Amino acid sequence: MNQLTERFSRIKTFIFDVDGVLTDGSVNCLASGEMYRTFNIKDGYGIEQAIKAGFKVAIISAGNQEGVRKRLEFLKIKDIFMGGPTDQKINAYLGLMTRDSLVEDEILYMGDDLPDYQILARPALLSACPADAVEEIQSVCDYISPKGGGQGAVRDVIEQVMKAQGNWAAWLK
């Protein structure tokens, strides 16, 4: 077992950013002023499988669109931290860790841009990013998905973890 697979095998919690991770980072604007995002259905399926398998899944995002929140709630994500200042995502992360007594080397966090840097640079955390993350983020991540944000990167990391733990698509066997 290589070092990365061994780290995947310890993960119990997934934490994701939204824009640029669960979406491709595009913002679509309607005449009404509503700004909506497009999500990848395969990422959603991966999240559903992770939750069914007993993983904790959380969201930390500076964005705060109601449509995004509804999508996340539809996926049965219970811990949704949205709307804080971009430079304060670390506070939401540390608060979640404290509140739920999370062990940092059992957490995989996926982000794509500078507001995620303070979290992703933490050495005990398994840091991940999509293939199209900014250079500064890629430089501190343990795992760079071959998939872009909103193009299956979330599904990829979930599969990597669940395969390392022997519980991805167990119903196929």
Which tokens sit at 173? 């066997």
Above 90 in pLDDT, residue 20? yes
Which tokens sit at 86? 């971009």
The pLDDT value recorded for residue 88 is: 87
Mind listing the pLDDT tens digit for each residue in 127-168?
999 999 999 999 999 999 999 999 999 999 999 999 999 998
Q: From its phi and psi, is residue 75 left (phi > 0), alpha (psi between -120 and 50) or beta?
A: alpha
CB count in 10 Å sphere of residue 147:
19
CB count in 10 Å sphere of residue 113:
19
Q: How confident is the model at residue 33 (pLDDT cuts 50, 70, 90)?
A: confident
Angle at 98 between CA 96 and CA 103, to 5 degrees: 90
Known binder of ligand: residue 19? yes
Known binder of ligand: residue 17? yes
Above 80 in pLDDT, residue 27? yes
Above 90 in pLDDT, residue 30? no
The pLDDT value recorded for residue 143 is: 98
CATH 3.40.50.1000 corresponds to the domain 3-165: yes
Cβ(59)–Cβ(77) below 8 Å? yes
Q: Which among 59, 15, 23 has a CA at the least distance from the CA of 153?
A: 23
Q: Which residue would you say has higher pLDDT here, 32 or 8? A: 8
Mind listing the pLDDT tens digit for each residue in 47-104?
999 999 999 999 999 988 888 999 999 999 999 999 887 778 999 999 999 999 999 9
Q: How confident is the model at residue 34 (pLDDT cuts 50, 70, 90)?
A: confident
Bridge partners (DSSP) of residue 82 are 61
* Integer Cα distance of 161 and 108 in angstroms: 9
Domain boundaries, the chain: 3-165
The pTM is what? 0.95
Known binder of ligand: residue 24? no
Which residue type occupies 39?
F
The pLDDT value recorded for residue 169 is: 77
Name the DSSP letter for residue 63: -
Question: Which residues are within 8 A (CB) of 49 and not within 5 positions of it... i.e. 6 or more apart?
Answer: 158, 162, 168, 169
